[in-house]
Amino acid sequence: MSTDRHPKLRDVARVAGVSLATASRALSEPGVVKEATREHVKSVAAMLGYMPSGAARALASRRSRTLGAVFPPVDNPIFAAATQALAHELAGAGYTLLLATHEYDPAVEVQVTRTLLERGVDGLVLIGLDHSPELFELLSRSRVPYEITWSIDSAGYHPCVGIPHRAASARVTQHLLDLGHREFAVVAGVTAHNDRVRERLAGVRDALTARGIELRADRVIDAEFSVAQGRRAFLELLERAPGFTAVICGNDTLALGVMTECARRGLRIPEQLSVAGFDNIELASEMTPALTTVHVPAADIGRLAGSRMLARLSGRHVPVIEELRAELIVRESTGKPPATVQKP
């Protein structure tokens, strides 16, 4: 009918001399249509510059070929890597990523998730287990499949792909204990609305408790994930409760903050102070001294979340829990505590 630059499927069908139904099938259900017909329709579509309407397609088929991702912030190297890998994985299957961020605000999280659901995402990728009840209610009411990433839901209720934060964190602590450390400090990250941070902190306590050591309350401090906040937290620890020989950080960015402050005041790492991080961002291995940390396979998590979701959408079965390894990577920032315990 229309002679403008936006041919519809109807136009393709007319020019190709087939019905609307056949044209539709030729383009999206290759197997059902006779080879010759299919090729003919395809060539007509290409010639006309036909571009299907995602909206119409989504409305009629009830799937949008779009996945939603609700991330805290995406400008955190580790989440950025996961986003990248996820988007890449989806693109390979003709899917697209609808991205939303909430900056660790539960109310915003519910809000943006609702928006994604209204957009008709076929699935949702979330981070962690710490979500408001409304969020979970929204999920169950909408019946949209979702994947929890980073965390593991041991209860087995939520499909998830993540790592054992607590155990990994305990492992780092053990490493420091083995080196002889007894006085610990922790720059934790923000524990509110963040189960990963709390689990990591719990892991530190696990390891210490196992050796009969208590973590002093004034040696634990919350800090937002940034280098500057890492420095600030470290300074506060030094002032508030000096005498520790090892600092365990909630992530590498915080650890970098601690290290830069040490460099600034001439504190030698690891001779005078041991520092450990979590995540294994690229910089961790490039710093001098290189940072001891836990490798979090962020890209793998993103990729897997994507492929699991795609698999589930096409009816295939996947294990509810996919636990990835999070290995301790010992580098140069951790060593024996100084012989005489001195204020660092």
Partner DNA sequence: GTCTTTTATGAAACCGTTTTCAATCATTTA
Partner DNA sequence: TAAATGATTGAAAACGGTTTCATAAAAGAC
Site residues, DNA (CB under 7 A)? 6, 8-10, 17-22, 24-25, 27-29, 32-34, 37-38, 50-53, 56-57, 59-62
Quote the least distance from Cβ 56 to DNA, whole Å. Answer: 3
Helix (H, G, I), strand (E, B) or coil at 155: coil
Q: Is residue 66 near a copy of itself by the rule CB under 8 A? A: yes
Which amino acid appears at position 161 of this protein? V
Residues in the chain, overall count: 344
Nearer to a copy of itself, 297 or 337 (CB): 297
Rule CB under 8 A: say whether 74 interacts with a copy of itself.
yes
Which option in DNA, a copy of itself, none does residue 27 bind, with CB closer than 5 to 8 A by kind? DNA
100 binds a copy of itself (CB under 8 A): yes
* CA-to-CA separations, 100 to 127, 199, 291, in angstroms, rounded: 12, 25, 31
22 binds, among DNA, a copy of itself, none (CB under 5 to 8 A by kind): DNA
Looking at the Cβ atoms of 36 and 155, the one nearer to DNA is 36
Structure tokens at 125: 């990728």
- The whole-angstrom separation of Cα 20 and Cα 181 is 74
Applying CB under 8 A, among 1, 212, 217, 282 the residue interacting with a copy of itself is 282
Which residue, 10 or 119, is less far from DNA as judged by CB? 10
Q: What is the C-alpha to C-alpha distance for residues 160 and 47, in angstroms, rounded to an integer?
A: 44
315 makes contact with a copy of itself (CB under 8 A): no
Q: Which two tokens stand for residue 198?
A: 């709390």
Cα distance between residue 119 and residue 58, in whole Å: 10
Distances (CA, A) of 195 to 143, 152, 201, 243, 292: 24, 10, 10, 29, 22
Instruction: Report the C-alpha gap between 147 and 125 in whole angstroms.
Output: 5
CA distance 149 to 83: 11
Q: How many CB atoms lie within 10 A of CB 239?
A: 8
| Shortest distance in whole angstroms from residue 32 CB to DNA | 6
Q: How many residues bind a copy of itself (CB under 8 A)?
A: 60
Is 83 one of the binding residues for a copy of itself (CB under 8 A)?
yes
With CB under 5 to 8 Å by kind, the binding choice for 286 among a copy of itself, DNA, none is a copy of itself
Rounded Cα–Cα distance for residues 327 and 53 (Å): 46
* Contact between 98 and a copy of itself per CB under 8 A: yes
Interface of this chain with a copy of itself, residues 151 to 210, rule: CB under 8 A: none
**Is 54 near a copy of itself (CB under 8 A)?**
yes
Lookup result for tokens 């393709």: 12
Nearer Cβ to DNA (59/320): 59
Among 27, 48, 99, 241, binds a copy of itself (CB under 8 A): 99
Please tell me whether residue 132 binds a copy of itself under the rule CB under 8 A.
Answer: no
CA distances to 69, 72, 200, 260, 321 from 153, in Å: 18, 19, 15, 36, 7
Which of DNA, a copy of itself, none has residue 294 at its interface (CB below 5 to 8 Å by kind)? Answer: none
What is the number of other CB atoms lying within 10 angstroms of the CB of residue 165? 25
Contacting positions for a copy of itself (CB under 8 A): 5, 49, 51-56, 58-59, 64-66, 73-77, 80-81, 83-84, 87-88, 91, 94, 96-101, 103, 108, 111-112, 114-120, 141-143, 226-228, 231, 256-257, 260, 263-264, 282-283, 286-288
